[in-house]
Structures are given as C-alpha cells and as structure tokens.
Amino acid sequence: MQNTLIFLVLASCISTAALAQPAAPTKSYSAAGRQVQVYTTAANTQLRMAATDKLTFQPQPQPLETQPTVFVDPTHTFQTLLGIGGAMTDAAAETFAKLPKPQQQEFLQAYYSPTGGIGYTLARTTIHSSDFSSGSYTYVANGDKSLKTFSLKHDEQYRIPFIKQAQAAAGGKLTMYVSPWSPPAWMKDNKSMLQGGKLLPEFRQTWADYYVAFIKAYEKQGIPIWGLTVQNEPMAKQKWESCIFTAEEERDFVKGYLGPTLKKNGLSDKKLIGWDHNRDLIFQRAATLFDDPEASKYYWGLGFHWYETWTGSTMQFENLRRVHETYPDKNLVFTEGCVENFKYEQVTDWRLGERYGNSMINDFNAGTVAWTDWNVLLDETGGPNHVGNFCYAPIIGDTRSGKLIYTNSYYYIGHFSKFIRPGARRIATTSSRDVLQTTAFLNTDGKVAVVVMNSTEKEQPFQLWMKGQAAQTISRPHSIMTIVVN
C-alpha cells in the first residue's frame, strides 16, 4: 500500500512537471562575430544609398537609459513581405516611350534590377483610364453589355510593352495587381466616368464580367495578374475617373457579383483587395466587409492610401493596427501614395523622401505585407494627367532633355526594396529615442535589414543592440540608413 502511494505521488509530480514545462524557445540568434554594413542617404551630402560604415558587435548585456539604442530581436517574427514596387500607369508608359533608348534602359535597371537598382518586385496597373492617362477611355463600345467589343488596343501602344520590359528587367517575374477607377459612363447613374457617380444596379454583372475580361486579356498578353482591388478610392468624388461605393455597396457587389464571377471563371486564386482608399475610414470598411461571412470569404485583404492628410490630419497608422488586431487573417497592402502639387523647381526637396520613409516604417510596423508607390515615372510637368492633377514620382523623365531626374524618394524607397526582399519576415524592433524611427526584417537568406530614419536637424549617435551584442553608429541629420547584418 505504501509503495502504491509513493508511486502515485511520483506519477503526480512527473505529470505536473511535464505540464509546467515552458514552451520550446524560438530559434536562437547571436549577433556575435557577424559582419555589418551600413548604407546611407543623407541631406546636404552626396550620400545616396551609399555604403558608408562597417560595424562591429561587442558584448553589452544591459544598455543604460543614457545610451540611445535601437533594439532588434530576430527571434520574434511577424508578417511576411510580399513585395515593394510602384504603379505602371498610362502616364508612366507614355513618358517612358518619349525617352531615348539609353535612358529607357537606365530606368528599367534603376527600378527593377535587384543588383544594379532597387529591385522592385510589385506592380499595379489600371483597368482602362485614370487621371494619369492622356484622356478617358474604356475597352468596349458604348452600351456593349455583352462585352463582345472588348479590346486592349489602347494599352498595346504604350502600357503593355512598358510592363513587359519591366518584367524582363525584374528577371521575368513581377507581381501585378489591377484596379479600376470607374466603370464606363453608360454603366453609371451620372453618365460620366468623372465626378463620382455610382454603378447602376442593372450593370453589376456586366461590370463584374469586365474585370474578368481584363484579367484574361492581360494574361493572354503574357502578363500574369496576381490580384485586383474592387474600386480605387470608393468614397471620393473626383474631377477625374471615380465611382462611389459605400461599405455596404462594396460588400454586396463582391458577394453577389464580383466574387462569384471570379470563381465561375476560374479566377478564384486572384487575391481580391477591398477598400483601396485612405486610412481614416479603413476600420469601418473592414468591419462591414469582413463581419459578413459570405462577403469575407472572397477577400484576401484591404488596400489603403496615405491621403487622409488632406484633412489636416497626420497619417493614421493606429487605424491600420486596429484592423490588423481585429482581422489578423486578412492582409494589409499600401496600394497608393504620392506627393501632390508638382513643381519642377522642388524635385530636390528633401520632404519628398521623408514622407515615404515615415509611411513605410509605420505601415510595416502596423502589419502591412506589401507597399506600392503610385506612378513609377512622370514627365517634367508631373504628368501627363488629363485633368491637371500633376504629382511627383520618384523618377522624373524630362522629355525635353531626355534625362532622368532621381528624387530622394527613389532612394528612400530603395532603402527598403533593395534590402528587404519578398519572403522576409518582419522582426521585433524598438528605439529608445523618438529621433530614430525604425523597422527591421529577417530575409530568407538569413540577413537582417534594419532601417533607421532621422527626420530632424540633429545628429544622433546610437547603438544597434541584438541579444546582448551592441554595435555603435551615427544617424546623420535628415537621413535614412539600412543596416545589413550578415
């Protein structure tokens, strides 16, 4: 009896010990002995993604409050990066066609080569015209409800050849998604592609069929389509191509027409992205689309822009975090951003790049999986744009001189796209000083890329601290740096 009691007590202890075992630790990481290269872009210098410093890690168990520090922990990982890139619009394609052949090749390498450029892997293009076209157009004759007249003849002149050359420069693969700005005028209640208006109920199926026709026609041209957004800026009445969809209208169009139509036509693998507008209303849109199971099943995620600043607000990154926390199974994609009100004499303005750096760091830290700039190329007017909505692009093609002008936004984007590659996992990072904004990723090859931005007039020495190892460096005033830990 005594032996039985001893056995039961021992068994109980063993069982309790087994239950109390901590979960297996995540994969360990040590920075000791690793090579570290710093790349820097800084105002009032010639530094543009320049290799500036090699750092050395030294043991440091506990930083002090007096030591400015960027903390990075590669053992805690978050979302996986899909890609970084920009939009291949009619305006970009037309500007590209006007450049001399050497500058065309320079442009393609500058964006799409992972070694000679900044390695874009993501692209967006429009379903027929947007404001960044030389005029409004569609792919069908007026009133053609059967879409028998559907033709890509317009795009075959500039846009399709442009995209194909970019694909080749990117090594044959460029993740492409597509977006409509407006249905044809005859499908809308205001009988115009401009000034908002709404899709008439009797044309919901025809419009859904139109997306399918476009995707299949582009793929027939050798341009694979990865995904699509439902409607560009669905709550904005613009003087250019635009169409209003409330959250409920988008939900019902997707679950009743677009989702089933994609599925019926063998396109259910295409990633369907909702919203495609600013961060200000994104949570309400997410709740309406994703709390309806019949609609939610068709959505891969939400797209967003950065133009909520038109209200005087700063960029509302916390709204992204609320969506990510509430709907962790859905993806966030930055689908468009540019600096508006183009002035040729301000193409060297440092604020251009810092706007990109601020958005990209905070968007990624909020859970964003992909980031898409607006026009990859515009001309010396900030166009062409058929309603005068002239904007900046990271590269300006001056069609008068045939030369390319690289704004600093090109380099700011490159500090992410060149060093953080598709498949990279975001990792934990924080800064002990608000002067230093930071995000970090672990690439599939094991390299860690840490981006640190300083948008102040102040030079800020700091240390990069990883699991008890620290490396000393300096953040220059108005600079962005990518620290690559091999």
**Domain assignment of residue 20, yes or no:** no
Phi, psi (rounded to 5 degrees) for 213: -60, -40
Question: Is 439 found in the same domain as 369?
Answer: no
Question: Is 259 found in the same domain as 176?
Answer: yes
- What total number of domains does the chain contain? 2
Question: Is 335 found in the same domain as 270?
Answer: yes
pLDDT for 62 beyond 80: yes
195-225 residue pLDDT tens: 999 999 999 999 999 999 999 999 999 999 9
Question: Is 451 found in the same domain as 359?
Answer: no
Phi, psi (rounded to 5 degrees) for 410: -55, -45
Q: Which of 422, 453, 470 is the last residue of a domain?
A: 422
Binning pLDDT at 50, 70 and 90, where does residue 426 land?
very high
pLDDT at 92: 99
**Domain assignment of residue 112, yes or no:** yes
**What's the whole-number average pLDDT of the chain?**
95
Question: Which one from 233, 241, 250, 308 is the annotated catalytic residue?
Answer: 233
pLDDT for 453 beyond 50: yes
pLDDT above 70: percentage of residues in the chain: 95
CB atoms within 10 A of CB 377: 25
Question: Is 307 found in the same domain as 204?
Answer: yes
Q: What does the pLDDT average to over 235-254?
A: 98
Short-list 163, 192, 184, CA closest to 85:
163
Judged by average pLDDT, the poorest of 1-5, 29-33, 152-156, 239-243 is 1-5
294-327 residue pLDDT tens: 999 999 999 999 999 999 999 999 999 999 999 9
Is the overall model pTM greater than 0.85, yes or no? yes
Q: What does the pLDDT average to over 30-55?
A: 97
| String of DSSP letters for 207-226 | HHHHHHHHHHHHHHTT----
Question: Is 88 found in the same domain as 73?
Answer: no
Instruction: Give the burial string for 173-212 (b: 16+ CB within 10 Å, else e).
Output: ebbbbbbbbbbbbbbbebeebbebbebbeebbebbbbbbb
Binning pLDDT at 50, 70 and 90, where does residue 14 land?
very low
Q: What does the pLDDT average to over 168-186?
A: 98
Q: What does the pLDDT average to over 383-402?
A: 98
pLDDT for 12 beyond 70: no
**Domain assignment of residue 51, yes or no:** yes
pLDDT for 13 beyond 80: no
**Domain assignment of residue 30, yes or no:** no
Question: Is 455 found in the same domain as 390?
Answer: no
263-298 residue pLDDT tens: 999 999 999 999 999 999 999 999 999 999 999 999
pLDDT above 90: percentage of residues in the chain: 94
**Domain assignment of residue 21, yes or no:** no
Q: Residues with Cβ < 8 Å from 237, sequence gap 6 or more?
A: 195, 196, 244
Question: Is 287 found in the same domain as 224?
Answer: yes
pLDDT for 18 beyond 80: no
Phi, psi (rounded to 5 degrees) for 253: -65, -40
Distance CA 271, CA 94 (A): 28
Question: Is 158 found in the same domain as 106?
Answer: yes
pLDDT for 11 beyond 50: no
Cβ-count burial of 323 within 10 angstroms (0-12 exposed, 13-18 middle, 19+ buried)?
buried
**Domain assignment of residue 300, yes or no:** yes
Q: What is the spatial order of strands in the sheet that 377-379 belongs to?
A: 377-379, 395-398, 403-406
Binning pLDDT at 50, 70 and 90, where does residue 191 land?
very high
Question: Which one from 94, 241, 336, 354 is the annotated catalytic residue?
Answer: 336
Short-list 161, 249, 148, CA closest to 197:
249
Residue 455 lies in domain:
35-79+427-485
Query: Does residue 233 carry a catalytic annotation?
Result: yes
Binning pLDDT at 50, 70 and 90, where does residue 19 land?
very low
pLDDT at 8: 37
Question: Is 303 found in the same domain as 335?
Answer: yes
Question: Is 399 found in the same domain as 322?
Answer: yes
**Domain assignment of residue 8, yes or no:** no
Query: Does residue 106 carry a catalytic annotation?
Result: no
**Domain assignment of residue 18, yes or no:** no
Question: Is 290 found in the same domain as 394?
Answer: yes
Q: What does the pLDDT average to over 46-60?
A: 98
pLDDT at 299: 99
**CATH number reported for the structural domain that contains residue 410 in this entry:** 3.20.20.80
Q: Which of 422, 454, 474 is the last residue of a domain?
A: 422
pLDDT at 27: 80
Q: Which of 384, 407, 422 is the last residue of a domain?
A: 422
Q: What does the pLDDT average to over 423-452?
A: 98
pLDDT at 26: 55
Binning pLDDT at 50, 70 and 90, where does residue 21 land?
very low
**CATH number reported for the structural domain that contains residue 473 in this entry:** 2.60.40.1180
**Tokens 């050798």 -> residue:** 222
